[in-house]
Amino acid sequence: MTQRQLASKVGVSQGLIAKIENGSVDPKMSTLRRIVGAFEHTGSSDPCAKNVMTTDVISVRHDDTVAKAIRLMTTYDISQLPVMKGNETIGCVEEDHLVALLGLQLDNPRRFYKKPIIEVISGYFPAVRPEAPLVEILELLAGGHKGVLVKEEGRVLGIITKIDVLKALGGR
């Protein structure tokens, strides 16, 4: 389905679909629901967590430094990372939060980059089971979470971000 066809089915402009797809706009939950509905009506593949997730989860340990997190974000072109302590997820670090914290510590940025990640955790990623429906994931993402972990028996299987959902629904 093209952007134009999707826009027509959803009742929005093709330009809005393009902006959502490239990540420059965060759509309303009602718009996301209409997008999911449009794909469900076309008989697209089963829209659930295991079919949308990225299995190569890049993460940092709680005792890694801010500098390491930034290197990983730069290397993998991502803006958030789960924070791990052993095999347990204890939070997340997000690029916008790091920028805000750095702004408060401009008097000594080197000290900031040497901080352990556990001191700059910005929140958490909610977790869903592999069979979780796409609507459940969209509600979490539209509710302000930057990512959703896919877990089974306490083990992280994957991560889902807005762009993963958009790519999966767009067939890219």
CB-CB contact of 121 with 66 (8 Å):
no
- Cα separation, 121 vs 59, in Å, equals 12
Task: Report CA Rg, the chain.
Answer: 17
> Which parts of the chain have pLDDT scores under 70?
1-2, 22-23, 39-46, 170-172
1-44 sits in which CATH class? mainly alpha
CB-CB contact of 95 with 69 (8 Å):
no
Say if pTM beats, i.e. exceeds, 0.85. no
Q: 28 in the Ramachandran plot: left (φ > 0), alpha (ψ -120 to 50) or beta?
A: beta
Per-residue confidence (pLDDT) for residue 40, from 0 to 100: 59
Per-residue confidence (pLDDT) for residue 34, from 0 to 100: 78
Per-residue confidence (pLDDT) for residue 92, from 0 to 100: 94
- Cα separation, 146 vs 15, in Å, equals 23
* Cβ-proximal residues to 154 (8 Å cutoff; 6+ apart), any chain: 87, 88
CB-CB contact of 52 with 137 (8 Å):
yes
CB-CB contact of 92 with 147 (8 Å):
yes
Structure tokens at 157: 């299987």
Closest CA to 146 of 102, 94, 106: 94
Which fold does the domain 46-172 belong to in CATH? CBS-domain (3.10.580)
Domain ranges (residues) in the chain: 1-44, 46-172
Per-residue confidence (pLDDT) for residue 172, from 0 to 100: 46
Structure tokens at 129: 């089971």
Task: For 127-140, write each residue's pLDDT tens digit.
Answer: 999 999 988 898 89
Per-residue confidence (pLDDT) for residue 41, from 0 to 100: 54
Q: Reduce the DSSP state of residue 130 to 3 states and report it.
A: coil
